[in-house]
């Protein structure tokens, strides 16, 4: 992984290709772009290589009076509703289309927001919320424990029933800062929980490199099952399961000072986190299973206490910046919406103090482009993502913003629009299900007349991965399955894939995502 460091007024890439070089390389190898993948694949490749450029913000939801907002999210239930978490202990439900808001939860009696970084800090809807109504919150309680709880919906579909609270996890906090508080469900259905190092300064309580504590970590738990004595279960594939050193088996990653905000890329499943620094550097990390991110040995790319951090077991950040650019990083999201075509696939993050907002592109190995994207008039407490993948900037002063399109910027077609544009008459290729998936997805297609046909899987670079069907197909419905392997039976890497139906009547292509 090549680092990106902000050393001056503009980000400096160390040892990575420029966007122009990448585009030139793609052009040199681009014979495959003339194949039957056509418009869809060309659009995917083009959007992934568009140079990043600064843009403006506009204020939204000005009909809502917010009190110290910390988080914006959605329920994933198809309703399009937006939920905003307020630090004192309330959650507001916003219907942007009809311009109204309601109190979804008032938990102020239980939430302790008086310390510096305490309060109602996190909200996550169960992946099956539409059918089970399960909601999870993260907050600091009166005697200053970090608590994660589950609540159920009331008979009112716009009201969470606080009386149903069931405590999932509590962790004692030795100080009033570095409480973390972010919670989110991953594409694997597990609940991920961020916790800081216990607060004060300079890792006073020495939790950063102590995996026998839950502090200074991102945890991963299963809230659909229960282990003896716990209100959750520990997934069998967590990195420290079965260890003989009393390391906490809930830990997914560690060595984090305060992972205030993290998010999953809804396409690739990658876990991105902003880890708040001590006195010199803020950092952006790609979180991996069992990763040690170095606190209190390193801060950003530098040794925290002078030397001794050149260790193979410590992971470097993807990006870092110093005090001339900000004082407290706020992790964001990889943009996967439709309004801003030039931003698709870029990770957006910012700084609470300076209001700077950056965007970067990462190819899985190195940063390939970065830009100072915008400046926020408000302190940035969080970024938020709605159900359509559109991004918002959450201002701690109560203002919410979104990015404006650039002049001439084209929106990304929705899946329905893509299919209408690409689907020839005489046959139909349906969206694979489930999608995203792991390990197996099913592809249905139909043909009005008998004809030779084939179903082929391609990776995002246009390389053939697997032929699922080839030969004569009679009229009617057909079905194949892909188990995430190539023609030699090897496991395919997680990521975006394209599947193509070729018939005598024409060609149709769709996208799918193989999860980790």
pLDDT higher than 50, residue 81: yes
DSSP conformational letter for 24: H
Within 8 A by CB and 6+ apart from 18, the residues are 368, 369
pLDDT higher than 80, residue 17: no
Give me the residue spans of the domains in the chain: 44-403, 422-514
pLDDT higher than 90, residue 86: yes
pLDDT higher than 60, residue 165: yes
The two three-digit tokens of residue 158, written as one number: 């716009």
Give residue-wise pLDDT tens across range 177-226: 888 999 999 989 999 999 999 988 899 999 999 999 999 999 999 999 99
Q: How many Å apart are CA 93 and CA 102, to the nearest integer?
A: 5
pLDDT higher than 80, residue 516: no
Q: How high is the pLDDT of residue 41? A: 38
Q: How many Å apart are CA 337 and CA 266, to the nearest integer?
A: 10
Q: How many Å apart are CA 4 and CA 363, to the nearest integer?
A: 13
Q: How high is the pLDDT of residue 307? A: 75
Q: Which has more confidence, 23 or 307?
A: 307
Q: How many Å apart are CA 239 and CA 225, to the nearest integer?
A: 19
**Low-confidence winner among 291-295, 396-400, 506-510 (lowest mean pLDDT):** 506-510
Give residue-wise pLDDT tens across range 102-140: 999 999 999 999 867 999 999 999 999 999 999 999 999
pLDDT higher than 70, residue 170: yes
Token match 């902000």: residue?
6
pLDDT higher than 50, residue 18: no
- Residue 340 β-bridge partners: none
- Which regions of 119-206 does DSSP assign to beta strands (E)? 120-125, 134-140, 145-153, 160-172, 183-185, 191-195
Average pLDDT, the chain: 87
What is the enclosing helix (H) or strand (E) of 42? helix 38-49
Q: What DSSP assignment string belongs to 299-318?
A: ETTEETTSS----TTSPPPS
pLDDT higher than 60, residue 96: yes
pLDDT higher than 70, residue 40: no
Give residue-wise pLDDT tens across range 476-488: 899 999 999 999 9
pLDDT higher than 90, residue 460: no
SS3 content of the chain, % helix, strand, coil (to 5): 10, 40, 50
Give residue-wise pLDDT tens across range 379-432: 999 999 999 999 999 999 999 999 999 999 988 765 545 544 445 557 888 888
- CATH number for 44-403: choose from 2.170.150.20, 3.60.20.10, 2.120.10.30, 3.40.50.150: 2.120.10.30
- Contact between residue 171 and residue 183 where contact means Cβ atoms under 8 Å apart: no
Q: How high is the pLDDT of residue 511? A: 86
The two three-digit tokens of residue 173, written as one number: 């906090």
Distances (CA, A) of 453 to 447, 483, 511: 9, 20, 19
Give residue-wise pLDDT tens across range 339-378: 999 999 999 999 999 999 999 999 888 999 999 999 999 9
The two three-digit tokens of residue 134, written as one number: 């399960």
Q: How high is the pLDDT of residue 23? A: 33
Percent of the chain with pLDDT over 70: 88
Q: How many Å apart are CA 349 and CA 305, to the nearest integer?
A: 27
Q: How high is the pLDDT of residue 413? A: 66
Report the topology of domain 422-514: Immunoglobulin-like (2.60.40)
pTM for the predicted model, two decimal places = 0.77
Q: How high is the pLDDT of residue 29? A: 31
- Contact between residue 89 and residue 80 where contact means Cβ atoms under 8 Å apart: no
CB atoms within 10 A of CB 144: 16
Within 8 A by CB and 6+ apart from 464, the residues are 456, 457, 458, 487
| Coil, helix or strand at residue 129 | helix
Domain 44-403 and domain 422-514 have a common topology: no
Q: What angle do CA 26, 28, 33 make, to 5 degrees?
A: 60
Give residue-wise pLDDT tens across range 313-341: 999 999 999 999 999 999 999 999 999 99
């Amino acid at each position: 992984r090549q680092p990106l460091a902000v050393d001056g007024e503009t980000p400096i890439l160390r040892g990575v290709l420029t966007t122009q070089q990448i585009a030139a390389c793609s052009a040199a190898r681009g014979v495959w772009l003339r194949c039957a993948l056509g418009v869809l694949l060309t659009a995917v490749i083009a959007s992934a290589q568009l140079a990043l450029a600064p843009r403006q913000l506009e204020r939204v939801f000005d009909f809502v009076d917010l009190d110290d907002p910390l988080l914006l999210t959605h329920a994933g239930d198809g309703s399009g509703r937006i939920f905003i978490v307020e630090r004192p202990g309330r959650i507001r439900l916003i219907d942007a289309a009809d311009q109204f808001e309601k109190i979804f939860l008032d938990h102020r009696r239980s939430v302790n927001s008086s310390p510096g970084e305490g309060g109602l800090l996190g909200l996550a809807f169960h992946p099956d919320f539409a059918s089970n109504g399960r909601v999870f919150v993260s907050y600091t309680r009166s005697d200053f424990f970090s608590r994660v709880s589950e609540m159920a919906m009331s008979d009112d579909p716009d009201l969470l029933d606080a009386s149903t609270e069931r405590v999932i996890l509590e962790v004692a906090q030795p100080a009033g800062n570095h409480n973390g508080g972010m919670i989110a469900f991953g594409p694997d259905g597990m609940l991920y929980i961020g916790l800081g190092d216990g607060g004060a300064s300079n890792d006073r309580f020495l939790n950063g490199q102590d995996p026998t504590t839950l502090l200074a970590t991102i945890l991963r738990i299963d809230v659909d099952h229960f282990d003896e004595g716990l209100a959750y279960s520990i997934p069998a594939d967590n990195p420290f399961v079965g260890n003989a050193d009393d390391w906490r088996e809930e830990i997914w990653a560690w060595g984090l000072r305060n992972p205030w905000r993290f998010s999953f890329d809804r396409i690739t499943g990658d876990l991105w986190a902003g880890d708040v620094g001590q006195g010199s550097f803020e950092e952006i990390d790609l979180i991996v299973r069992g990763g040690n991110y170095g606190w209190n040995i390193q801060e950003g790319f530098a040794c925290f206490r002078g030397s001794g951090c050149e260790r193979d077991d410590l992971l470097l950040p993807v990006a870092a910046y110093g005090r001339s650019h900000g004082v407290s990083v706020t992790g964001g999201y990889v943009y996967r919406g439709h309004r801003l075509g030039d931003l698709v696939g870029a990770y957006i993050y910012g700084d609470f103090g300076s209001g700077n907002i950056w965007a970067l592109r990462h190819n899985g190995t190195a940063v390939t482009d970065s830009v100072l994207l915008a400046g926020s008039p408000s302190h940035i407490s969080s970024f938020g993502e709605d159900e359509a993948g559109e991004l918002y900037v959450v201002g701690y002063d109560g203002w919410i913003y979104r990015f404006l399109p650039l002049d001439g910027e084209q929106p990304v077609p929705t899946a329905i629009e893509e299919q209408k544009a690409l689907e020839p008459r005489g046959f139909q290729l349906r969206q694979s299900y489930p999608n995203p998936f792991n390990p197996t997805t099913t592809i249905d297609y139909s043909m009005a007349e008998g004809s030779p046909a084939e179903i082929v899987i391609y990776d995002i670079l246009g390389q053939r991965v697997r032929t699922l069907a080839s030969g004569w197909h009679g009229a009617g419905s057909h079905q194949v399955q892909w188990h995430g392997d190539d023609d030699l039976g090897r496991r395919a890497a997680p990521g975006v894939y394209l599947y193509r139906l070729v018939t005598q009547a024409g060609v149709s292509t769709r996208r799918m995502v193989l999860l980790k």
